[in-house]
Amino acid sequence: MSEDPETLLIRLRAAMPALRPSERRIAEMFVGAPAAAANLSIAELAARCATSTTSVVRFYQRMGYARYKDFRIDLTRAVAREELTASRLPEASGDIDRHDSLAGIVSKVAMNETLSIADTARSLDMDALGEAVAILLAARRIDTFGVGASALVGLDLQQKLSRIGRTAINWHDCHSAWTSAATLDPGCVAVAVSHTGATVDTVEFLAIARASEAATVAITNFRDSPLARAADVTLTTAARETRFRSGALGSRIAQLMVVDCLFTGVAQASYDASMEALRNTYAVVHDRRVERA
């Protein structure tokens, strides 16, 4: 997939966990104050980040640029896009702190989650999504697993797939997930969800499934992560971290958005059967509701 210049800030955030300390300081400068950092020369940037000019050159080359000038141009474009997106949202700036009112908290959480969805939609690899849809369509059985907030996302995918007649199982603990993964075969798919892509239990689940020759799909924020390396197909989110863990809220909402796209792709590709299943499952649930007076 060719990279969109306007997703540079998204790619910088995603790259940070895998960077060397000197390169991470440079990335943090660009993410924390991108407009100001874009105006710095290589020497000025190196001095601000307490590193060498060689580290700066290595950093922008690692991000896919042969020239610092091109990196700065794309950074400026990315900043302009984020400012335009933010301008359409309720005014809110900075992280959540102890002095925020409830209205301020609502505005900041709304902005965090809205930007997480917008960034994910812009950066999501359509080829990878199409491949994941095809894999799930062909699967005889689909197992999902995640830990913590990601477990809720795995459950959501399982429930959605079950509503359209797909055989899908969600596992709530790692031992059950691992033993199930060991019984999978080439006709099955394992879907693992982890924001960091480094949760040991989740990585192990996908590794066992791959050893069983099942197809493997990862949903994670970091393309260069252990979970992604254990997957045949990786769907990346672009959530933001904050001090009060609204990053966890952002990551969850971004993961749910990816799950919705994945589910809708599967349902559309099997349209008639899926619509009939949705009508049937809706009717069963609807009949169990108490009539209003």
- CATH number of the CATH domain containing 72: 1.10.10.10
For 235, list phi and psi in degrees, rounded to 5. Answer: -110, 115
Total number of residues shown for the chain: 293
From the first residue on, what is the mean pLDDT of each consecutive set of 10 residues in the chain (293 residues)?
Answer: 69 85 92 87 93 94 92 87 67 64 81 84 93 97 95 96 96 96 97 95 97 97 92 90 56 92 96 93 79 64
Residues 69 and 147 placed together within one structural domain of the fold: no
Residues 58 and 171 placed together within one structural domain of the fold: no
**Residue 101: inside a domain:** no
Q: pLDDT at position 113, please?
A: 83
φ/ψ bin of 166: left (φ > 0), alpha (ψ from -120 to 50), beta (otherwise): beta
Contact 6, 214 (CB under 8 A): no
* pTM given for the model: 0.79
Q: pLDDT at position 77, please?
A: 85
Residues 158 and 267 placed together within one structural domain of the fold: yes
Measured distance CA(129)–CA(261) in Å, rounded: 8
Q: pLDDT at position 2, please?
A: 47
**Residue 21: inside a domain:** yes
Q: pLDDT at position 82, please?
A: 73
List residues bridging with 169 in a β-sheet. Answer: 143
Q: pLDDT at position 91, please?
A: 56
Structural domain including 40 reads: 5-88
**Residue 167: inside a domain:** yes
**Residue 109: inside a domain:** no
Residues 215 and 144 placed together within one structural domain of the fold: yes
* CATH code for the domain in which residue 220 is found: 3.40.50.10490
From 88, 118, 142, give the residue that closes a domain. 88
**Residue 257: inside a domain:** yes
Measured distance CA(107)–CA(101) in Å, rounded: 10
Residues 146 and 236 placed together within one structural domain of the fold: yes
Residues 83 and 134 placed together within one structural domain of the fold: no
Q: Which class for 267: exposed (0-12), middle (13-18), buried (19 or more C-beta within 10 A)?
A: buried
What does the block give as tokens for 169? 């199982």
Residues 65 and 181 placed together within one structural domain of the fold: no
**Residue 111: inside a domain:** no
Total number of domains constituting the chain: 2
What does the block give as tokens for 240? 């933001």
**Residue 99: inside a domain:** no
Residues 160 and 255 placed together within one structural domain of the fold: yes
Residues 165 and 75 placed together within one structural domain of the fold: no
Residue where the block lists tokens 């790619």 = 11
**Residue 191: inside a domain:** yes
